Structure formats: C-alpha cells, structure tokens
C-alpha cells in the first residue's frame, strides 16, 4: 500500500509498505525517504505514540493514509504525526 508523507513545507512524498509491516519498518522507510539521521523518531497516530511491534493494519493505517512530518522535536526526538 502507499502512504503519503507531507513535510512542514507542504512537500509530498510517498512510501510503499505492506499493511502487515510493523511500525519499526515504517519508521525506517520514513527516515530513509526524509533523510532523517536520528534513530530516535516517534510516530503518533490518533493521539497515540506507536510502539515498534505494532502492525500497521491493526492501527487502521490503510492505503492512502497521510503522514504529516512536522520536523518537530519532542524530548530530543523527531515527531511524526499520522493522520487519515
């Protein structure tokens, strides 16, 4: 499935990932796509910080979901907020 990323400047990119992938794999793809060097990124979806072992489909992350990459730092970590 394709998940779209919008950065804080409004630039779009997309990630191809399986709905059965874990959050950890999504984090790696987001880091690679956005050239993020930090290993300490957090993903937030519906107000919940996602843990690496969650499966995307279990979190209702589906084809066409949009991820807003804000480039914000929270407690020394980059925060990525998932919206649908």
The least confident of 19-28, 49-58, 64-73, 75-84 is: 75-84
Tell me the pTM: 0.76
How large is the average pLDDT for residues 15-30? 92
Q: What number of other Cβ atoms are within 10 A of residue 3's Cβ? A: 23
Chain segment 51-61, per-residue pLDDT in tens: 889 999 998 98
- At residue 65, the pLDDT reads 87
Please name each of the domains of the chain with its CATH number. 2-83 (3.10.20.90)
- How far is C-alpha 11 from the geometric centre of its chain's CA atoms? 15
What phi-psi label fits residue 27: left (phi over 0), alpha (psi between -120 and 50 degrees) or beta?
A: alpha
Looking at the predicted structure, is the pLDDT value of residue 71 above 70?
no
């Amino acid at each position: 499935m394709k998940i779209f990323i919008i950065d804080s400047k409004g630039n779009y990119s997309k990630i191809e990932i399986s709905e059965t992938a874990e959050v950890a794999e999504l984090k790696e793809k987001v880091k690679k796509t956005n050239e993020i060097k930090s290993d300490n990124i957090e993903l937030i979806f519906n107000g919940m910080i996602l843990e690496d072992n969650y499966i995307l489909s279990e979190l209702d992350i589906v084809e066409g979901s949009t991820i807003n990459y804000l480039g914000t730092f929270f407690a020394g970590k980059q925060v990525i907020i998932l919206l649908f």
